[in-house]
Structure 1
Amino acid sequence: MAHLSDEHLKAAQAVVERVGAYQESAPDRDTAKELRDGLDEAGVSLSDDDLTKLVDAIDDRGVVDVSEVLG
């Protein structure tokens, strides 16, 4: 799991909620690109493995809990 500060975890969760909501209403969007762009904008860096875990979880379930997925 990525070692995120509380601040970065909250920022990542906000990005995941936004991207997850997009996916529910527009499933043809590129989840990985949207997630990476949002995390970069928020100043949060994740490994490719952690990003893939989040993308898969969002694609499967929509909005997810970052700490649960990466825990």
Structure 2
Amino acid sequence: MNDQDRLTAIQAVVDRVTSWQDGATEGTVEQELRRGAEEVGVDMTDDEIRRLADVIEDEHAAVSAEEVLGTH
């Protein structure tokens, strides 16, 4: 999987989790990010999961995986 495909897959997971996790605890968000990543077949580090979960919890809005993970 190339970097762009990986980022696209991660963004799909982030969008899904963000859309229905408003108000969920960080542990739940992290768990759902891991589950989603597994479902789409993309490996994410613990650090990537934590960073994305923090932003999802803080922003409660659209989250750019590219911006959070610094891959732009």
Q: Does 1:51 align with 2:45?
A: no
Aligned length: 66
Q: Does 1:28 align with 2:6?
A: no
Measure, in 2, the Cα distance between the counterparts of 1:64 and 1:58.
7
Give the TM-score normalised by the residue count of structure 2.
Answer: 0.82
Measure, in 1, the Cα distance between the counterparts of 2:24 and 2:55.
16
Measure, in 1, the Cα distance between the counterparts of 2:46 and 2:59.
20
SS of the residue corresponding to residue 45 of structure 1 reads: coil
Q: Which consecutive aligned stretches of 4+ in structure 1 deviate over 4 angstroms post-superposition?
A: none
Q: Which runs of 5+ in 1 are unaligned?
A: none
Q: Which moved more, 1:31-40 or 1:4-13?
A: 4-13
How is 1:1-71 mapped onto 2 (pairs within 5 angstroms)? 5-24=3-22, 27-28=23-24, 30-62=28-60, 63-71=62-70
Give the TM-score normalised by the residue count of structure 1.
Answer: 0.83
Q: Which has the higher contact order (CA 8 A, sep 6+)?
A: 1
Measure, in 2, the Cα distance between the counterparts of 1:40 and 1:18.
14
